[in-house]
Amino acid sequence: MREINVKEITSAIKEMCITVNHDLSDDMKDALKKARETEVSPVGQKVLSQLEENLVIAKEKTIPICQDTGMAVVFLEVGQEVHFTGGAIEEAINEGVRQGYVEGYLRKSVVGDPIERVNTKDNTPAVIHYSIVPGEKVKITLAPKGFGSENMSRIFMLKPAQGIEGVKEAIRTAVSDAGPNACPPMVVGVGVGGTFEKAALLAKQALTDPVGLKTEKPAWACALEEEMLSEINGSGIGPAGLGGSTTALSVNVRSFATHIAGLPVAVNICCHVNRHTSKVL
């Protein structure tokens, strides 16, 4: 058994909130650079150049990449040999978010109640997903989610007979409806299978996969990613929705077993500021 004081979780999350909002992961930066080089529209190239310049300014001057610094989504994979000490884990996570957003000059975008809508003023609570895994480590993944793109995400409960064509149509519909609102070029997270909530969770997790990841997934999923990326980039929506050949940087699919009667498909759309970072304690 390994003891971990929850203070370590708090300080890791605080630091991750701040860094992830000022510096994108290398795979996202590379994808943006590649997009600028291949974009056919002059307006689209101009937009992509602005986005690259924005990343440089954000990092050098410590200004968040996007003013929507998101609602904090935390995935906590806890080794079953771990024993947390020093307090409640949920409160430790929220304390990390609180410190990160307050001390890091990040925007507080969370309201405590969806109808009464009073801002909590410290961006808590986070949305937390726990899983228990073998071992004695703790892996924290933080993915703050902006709502311009979150609002354009969809879930579809398809019939099994609709098969892969139904999945493609679901992705097409979500991306086309999202259009300029989701701040393209976007990353499209797709969850196929499971139950209603499992599909949504898979789609969210898919957004944390590196651009172009092709391991640990079935052949149909890899083929679907390639085909849909090409098709989405032929839609004409383009960077910022102003027309062009770069509408998505990546389509990331995750799948899971499902019921004989169903084919759930969730499409979680993220803008080009697809922030995610992981740390193992």
Task: Tell me which of 25, 162, 235, 258 binds another protein, using CB under 8 A.
Answer: 235
Number of residues that bind another protein (CB under 8 A): 51
Taking CB under 8 A as the rule, does residue 107 contact another protein?
yes
Provide the sign of the torsion angle of the four alpha carbons 10, 11, 16, 17, taken in this order: positive
Give the side-chain half-sphere CA count within 13 A for 104. Answer: 28
We find the least distance from the C-beta atom of residue 48 to another protein, in angstroms, to be 10
We find the least distance from the C-beta atom of residue 206 to another protein, in angstroms, to be 20
Question: Nearer Cβ to another protein, position 79 or 239?
Answer: 239
Question: Nearer Cβ to another protein, position 49 or 195?
Answer: 49
Asked if residue 256 lies in contact with residue 202, where contact means CB atoms within 8 angstroms, the answer is yes
Question: Nearer Cβ to another protein, position 199 or 273?
Answer: 273
Question: Nearer Cβ to another protein, position 69 or 255?
Answer: 69
Name the β-bridge partners of 95: none
Q: Which of residues 201-230 bind another protein (CB under 8 A)?
A: 230
Taking CB under 8 A as the rule, does residue 115 contact another protein?
no
Q: Which of residues 28-47 bind another protein (CB under 8 A)?
A: 40-41, 43-44, 46-47
Taking CB under 8 A as the rule, does residue 195 contact another protein?
no
Taking CB under 8 A as the rule, does residue 173 contact another protein?
no
Taking CB under 8 A as the rule, does residue 54 contact another protein?
yes
Asked if residue 28 lies in contact with residue 211, where contact means CB atoms within 8 angstroms, the answer is yes
In the β-sheet with 127-133, what is the strand arrangement from edge to edge? Answer: 127-133, 73-79, 138-142, 277-280
Question: Nearer Cβ to another protein, position 5 or 230?
Answer: 230
- Which positions ≥6 away from 34 have C-beta within 8 Å? none
**Residue 221 burial (10 A CB sphere; 0-12, 13-18, 19+):** buried
DSSP secondary structure string for all residues of 12-60: HHHHHHHHHTT---HHHHHHHHHHHHH---HHHHHHHHHHHHHHHHHHH
Tell me the residue length of the chain: 281
Report the interface residues with another protein, using CB under 8 A.
40-41, 43-44, 46-47, 50-51, 53-55, 57-58, 61-69, 105-109, 117, 119, 121, 148, 151, 179-181, 183, 230, 234-238, 240-245, 271-273
